[in-house]
Structure 1
Amino acid sequence: MTTTRHASVRLTQFAHGGGCACKIPPGELEDVLGVLSAPLPATAGTPLLVGLATGDDAAVIALPTQGDTPAQAVVSTADFFTPVVDDPYDWGRIAAANALSDVYAMGGWPVLAVNLLAWPRDVLPFELAREVLRGGLQVATEAGCHVGGGHSVDDPEPKYGMAVTGLADPARLLRNDTGRPGMPLSLTKPLGLGVLNNRHKATGERFEQAVATMTALNRDASAAALAAGATCATDITGFGLLGHLHKLARASRVTAVIDTAGVPYLDGAREAVRDGYVSGGTRRNLEWVAPFTDFGTTDADTRVLLADAQTSGGLLVAGEVPGAPVIGELVPGGPHTLVLR
């Protein structure tokens, strides 16, 4: 653990929230999204395969087949947020990996991204924005994804992310509504990113394991899930493990049982909860899922970590993924969508 490399300018101090913890609370979001519930008339030959109905990670539309061209689908998503770390290059890398993750969570591969940048140009040196963009480009290049420009605005609060277009095999999508009883649940990254990022914002402490986790692409996890025959997955970001798993179980009409002893955490995560570094977003996540959850005897700190608002977290796959711990299973639907044991 070291202090940030850009100690003279702490980007997190210019943000009201941090990373995916600054999302609109899930309950409020679902209320307002009702205005989009009526889909547009389908364009001939381009059916919408995944839209708003189940709250999945990205939208997917099928391309019309022409001649011997293999069937393909287009995956579309956008994601951006306020600084989650002080180092601008690392923030760019994290934001890009997080945006690309939505495509991997659908079983696709990213091909084109455009930058989304908001910057307080009269407050923060624009050279820092260059470092943010450089970090995003580095991760996109690692993913084999072109970056073709983007859009920027002058804003009182810095924000960065990407709109990403990907491709997928429409017959091999990963969705959040295809879970079935008997499927194990595998988690490909440890939890605790939210509380460690909140501690970083408050103290300036730098957590290298957290940065490495957030900048790691979910590309290999997605490929491994598809190779194992998985059809159901989601990524774990701002709504926490409990929030995203609740959406998956609800969409699949099953109950998800979590083995709390099997869930992996980053070093220092429990200490951060103990010391009070819990974001408002995490507390809102826990409040949202509480009516749908049987917490059993799970202690308060563990409940917080399971609801912790992650930034660029891992994939949660209904199936076994090599190297990823199994943290529970799907069972027939019961009175709760989530059960903790």
Structure 2
Amino acid sequence: MKILVTGAAGFIGMHVAKRLLARGDEVVGVDNLNDYYDVQLKQDRLEQLKPHDNFRFVKMDIADREAMAALFAKEKFQRVINLAAQPGVRYSLKNPHAYINSNIVGFTNVLEGCRHNNVEHLVYASSSSVYGANSNMPFSVHQNVDHPVSLYAATKKASELMAHTYSHLYNLPTTGLRFFTVYGPWGRPDMSPSLFTSAIVENRPIDVFNEGKMQRDFTYVDDIVEGVVRVLDRIATPDPEFDTNQPDPATSYAPYRLYNIGNHEPVQLMAFIETIEKAVGKTAVKNMLPMQAGDVVATYADVEDLKQAVGFEPKTPLASGIGKFVEWYKSYYK
């Protein structure tokens, strides 16, 4: 198939594009290569894709309305995977407009491109952050998520609502995937695995928020990729049992679906740090800090719907995934 992957120079985008190319799809990768973090890392990720004859890269911001419309009209993609976004909870406190531009305006341009060019299926990244103030664990896609605690989370919830509108109005099949704390080789330098590993290696203290009393559902990137590709191949359909008197947030009378992708085994932050310490072979100096605004205490994915739909659930053990990440980190950063 001919597939558009937005955010192709990103952590998850590169891995997804690589997997699609390996199975013989034609991939057009879009990214604006912004400087939210090290641009060299993004360019090095692209180098992993460029040897493939079926890969083409287009430097473009998805918030550029005219450029996106022209790209869709020219390429006539069969399917689209939208992984371009302004990520990060804490950064959304400092630069809210970046989230509106990418996650709202940019996503609108993706939806419009799909609508006007008969795209068969749009799969897009949502986030576990949409669960916000919910404390009923594990998080289920059947729960309402109306209490975000960061603008990042609010924009991801907005993406889900916008997708449903296009599924309803234009019969566009859309599937949203709520990712749970993704880690692995080529990971973002602003995320905890890279931050902790670099600090431990360089003998700097690591910041441990909420005194370490946090839990995260850490999900290895290969599991995320497997879920994304399987979902891409299963075009969203209307739910014949959808009840408008008791609407299910995860499905619809329209061709719309939502799934969690998480390891469904929450890990205490201190245990996560210990796993990195073992892989690196050094003990961290810990700087205990209070809870940060916009953060949540715990995440825990219910993935039963994903398992039922595509016959897959993430299950890479943390020690295995962290071992591969640290091995890549040492190799890449010398």
- Is the pair's TM-score, using the shorter chain for normalization, greater than 0.5? no
Higher relative contact order (CA 8 A, sep 6+): 1
Q: Which protein is richer in strand relative to its size?
A: 1
Q: TM-score, normalised by structure 2?
A: 0.31
Q: TM-score, normalised by structure 1?
A: 0.30
Q: Which protein is richer in helix relative to its size?
A: 2
